C-alpha cells in the first residue's frame, strides 16, 4: 500500500498510474498529477481497500521503473 504522496511522486517522475490516463498525453502532465493527489487526499476510503488497485498498478509501475532504469527513452505509456 502506498500513500497518496508516493503515488504523486511516481506520477511526476514516471507518469500517472491511473488507468484513465495511462497511455495518454496527460500521463506526464504535472497538473494532472496534482489533481490526482487532491482526489486521493479527499478520498475517505480506508487504505486496506486499495490493495487490489495497488496490485493492478504494480506491473505498470514496475515496467516504468525498469524502462527508466535502463534509460532508453521516454516510456511510450
Q: Is 8 helix (H, G, I), strand (E, B) or coil?
A: helix
User: What was the pLDDT predicted at 1?
Assistant: 59
pTM recorded for the entire structure = 0.52
SS3 2: coil
One DSSP character per residue, 9-77 reads HHHHHH----TTTTTSGGGG-HHHHHHHHHHHHH--S-GGGGHHHHHHHHHHHHHHHHHHHHT-SS---
User: CB-based contacts of 54: which residues, under 8 Å, 6+ apart?
Assistant: 1, 2
* Cα-based distances in Å from 73 to 21, 55, 66: 19, 26, 11
pLDDT tens digit at each of 77 positions of the chain: 567 888 888 788 777 767 677 767 777 788 888 988 898 888 887 767 767 777 787 888 888 778 777 776 665 66
Which pLDDT value is given to residue 19? Answer: 67
Amino acid at each position: 500500500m502506498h500513500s497518496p504522496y508516493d503515488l504523486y511522486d511516481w506520477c511526476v517522475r514516471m507518469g500517472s498510474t491511473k488507468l484513465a490516463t495511462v497511455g495518454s498525453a496527460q500521463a506526464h502532465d504535472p497538473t494532472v498529477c496534482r489533481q490526482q493527489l487532491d482526489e486521493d487526499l479527499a478520498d475517505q476510503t480506508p487504505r486496506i481497500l486499495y490493495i487490489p488497485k495497488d496490485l493492478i498498478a504494480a506491473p505498470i509501475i514496475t515496467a516504468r521503473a525498469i524502462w527508466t532504469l535502463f534509460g532508453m527513452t521516454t516510456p511510450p505509456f
